[in-house]
Structure 1
Amino acid sequence: MKTRTLRKDKVNIITLGCSKNVVDSEVLSGQLQANDIDVVHESKKSDHNIVVINTCGFIDKAKEESINTILDHVELKKKGRLDKVYVTGCLTERYRQNLEAEIPEVDAWFGTMELPLILKRFEADYKAELVGERLLSTPSHYAYMKISEGCNRTCSFCAIPLMRGQHVSKSVEQLVAEAEGLVRKGVKEVMLIAQELTYYGLDIYKKRELPRLLHALADVKGLEWIRLHYAYPSKFPLEIIDAMKERSNICNYLDMPLQHSSDNMLKAMRRQITRAEMDDLIGDIRSRIPDICVRTTLIAGFPGETEADVEDMKAFLQAQRFDRVGIFTYSHEEGTSAHTLEDNIPHEEKERRAQEVMEVQQEISYEKNQEKVGKIFKVLVDKKEAGRYLGRTEFDSVEVDNEVIITTGHKLTMGEFVNVKITKAYDYDLEGIVAEA
Structure 2
Amino acid sequence: MPIKVGMVSLGCSKNLVDSERMLYKLRKSGYELVTEPGLADVAVVNTCGFIQSAKEEAIETILELGKLKEDGTLKKIIVTGCLVERYKEEIAEQFPEADAVIGIGNNKDIVDVLDHVLADERYINFAPKLDAELTGERIISTLPFFSYLKVAEGCSNCCTYCAIPQIRGKFRSVPMEDVLKEARWLADNGVTELVVIAQDTSQYGFDLYGESKLPELLRELCKIEKLRWIRTLYCYPERITDELLETIASEEKLVKYLEIPIQHSDGDILSRMHRWGDAEQLEALFAHIREKIPGVILRTTLITGFPGETKEQFNSLAEFVQRVRFDRLGCFAYSCEDGTQAAKFPDQIEPEEAAHRADIIMEQQLLISSENNAKLMDKEFTAVVEGFDRFGECWFGRTEMDAPDIDGKVFFTSENPLSVGQYVKIRITDTLDYDLIGEVINE
TM-score (norm 2): 0.93
Note the C-alpha offset of 1:129: 12
Within the alignment, does 1:436 sit opposite 2:442 as a pair?
yes
Within the alignment, does 1:10 sit opposite 2:4 as a pair?
yes
After TM superposition, the structure 1 = structure 2 runs for residues 76-225 of structure 1, keeping only pairs within 5 Å, are 76-123=68-115, 131-225=135-229
Within the alignment, does 1:69 sit opposite 2:91 as a pair?
no
In structure 2, how many angstroms separate the alpha carbons of the residues matched to 1:143 and 1:120?
Answer: 27
Within the alignment, does 1:24 sit opposite 2:18 as a pair?
yes
Note the C-alpha offset of 1:235: 3.2
Q: Which shifted more, 389-398 or 102-111?
A: 102-111
Structure 1: 4+ residue segments shifted above 6 A: none
In structure 2, how many angstroms separate the alpha carbons of the residues matched to 1:436 and 1:80?
Answer: 53
Partner of 1:203, secondary structure, is helix
Note the C-alpha offset of 1:131: 4.9
In structure 2, how many angstroms separate the alpha carbons of the residues matched to 1:149 and 1:308?
Answer: 37
Partner of 2:303, secondary structure, is strand
After TM superposition, the structure 1 = structure 2 runs for residues 212-361 of structure 1, keeping only pairs within 5 Å, are 212-342=216-346, 344-361=348-365
Note the C-alpha offset of 1:342: 3.5
Given that 1:302 and 1:343 are in contact with CA atoms closer than 8 Å, whether structure 2 keeps it comes out as no
Map Cα deviations across residues 30-81 of structure 1 (whole Å, 9 max, x no partner).
Answer: 11111111123xx237331100000000000000000010111112112222
Aligned-partner residue type, residue 88 of structure 1: T
Partner of 1:234, secondary structure, is helix
Given that 2:49 and 2:86 are in contact with CA atoms closer than 8 Å, whether structure 1 keeps it comes out as yes
Aligned-partner residue type, residue 208 of structure 1: S
Map Cα deviations across residues 264-316 of structure 1 (whole Å, 9 max, x no partner).
Answer: 21111110322222122112111101200000000011111111111111111
Within the alignment, does 1:420 sit opposite 2:412 as a pair?
no
Q: Which shifted more, 336-345 or 172-181?
A: 336-345
In structure 2, how many angstroms separate the alpha carbons of the residues matched to 1:174 and 1:313?
Answer: 41
Given that 1:300 and 1:327 are in contact with CA atoms closer than 8 Å, whether structure 2 keeps it comes out as yes
Note the aligned Cα RMSD (angstroms). 1.7
Map Cα deviations across residues 375-433 of structure 1 (whole Å, 9 max, x no partner).
Answer: 00011111112232111111100121121001111111110110100010111000011
User: Do the aligned partners of residues 275 and 133 (structure 1) sit closer, same or farther apart at CA in structure 2, a change above 3 Å counting?
Assistant: same
Note the C-alpha offset of 1:194: 0.4
Partner of 2:59, secondary structure, is helix
In structure 2, how many angstroms separate the alpha carbons of the residues matched to 1:306 and 1:151?
Answer: 29
Aligned-partner residue type, residue 181 of structure 2: A
Map Cα deviations across residues 173-229 of structure 1 (whole Å, 9 max, x no partner).
Answer: 111111111111111101111000011001111111000000000000110000011
Note the C-alpha offset of 1:159: 0.7
Partner of 1:304, secondary structure, is coil
Total equivalences in the alignment: 426
Map Cα deviations across residues 141-185 of structure 1 (whole Å, 9 max, x no partner).
Answer: 000110100011021111111111101111111111111111111
Aligned-partner residue type, residue 81 of structure 1: T
Given that 1:374 and 1:421 are in contact with CA atoms closer than 8 Å, whether structure 2 keeps it comes out as yes
Which residue number in structure 2 is paired with residue 37 of structure 1?
Answer: 31
Note the C-alpha offset of 1:263: 1.3
Note the C-alpha offset of 1:109: 1.0
Given that 2:5 and 2:43 are in contact with CA atoms closer than 8 Å, whether structure 1 keeps it comes out as yes
Given that 1:145 and 1:193 are in contact with CA atoms closer than 8 Å, whether structure 2 keeps it comes out as yes
In structure 2, how many angstroms separate the alpha carbons of the residues matched to 1:9 and 1:49?
Answer: 6
User: Do the aligned partners of residues 131 and 296 (structure 1) sit closer, same or farther apart at CA in structure 2, a change above 3 Å counting?
Assistant: closer
In structure 2, how many angstroms separate the alpha carbons of the residues matched to 1:393 and 1:305?
Answer: 37
Partner of 2:302, secondary structure, is strand
In structure 2, how many angstroms separate the alpha carbons of the residues matched to 1:299 and 1:388?
Answer: 36
Aligned-partner residue type, residue 14 of structure 1: V
TM-score (norm 1): 0.94
Which residue number in structure 2 is paired with residue 50 of structure 1?
Answer: 42
Given that 1:310 and 1:357 are in contact with CA atoms closer than 8 Å, whether structure 2 keeps it comes out as no
Q: Which shifted more, 403-412 or 230-239?
A: 230-239
Map Cα deviations across residues 65-115 of structure 1 (whole Å, 9 max, x no partner).
Answer: 000101111121122221110001000000111111111221111112222
In structure 2, how many angstroms separate the alpha carbons of the residues matched to 1:45 and 1:221?
Answer: 37
In structure 2, how many angstroms separate the alpha carbons of the residues matched to 1:340 and 1:122?
Answer: 40
Which 5+ residue runs of structure 1 have no aligned equivalent? Answer: 1-6
Within the alignment, does 1:399 sit opposite 2:420 as a pair?
no
Aligned-partner residue type, residue 223 of structure 1: L
Aligned-partner residue type, residue 419 of structure 2: T
Aligned-partner residue type, residue 411 of structure 1: P
In structure 2, how many angstroms separate the alpha carbons of the residues matched to 1:152 and 1:377?
Answer: 39
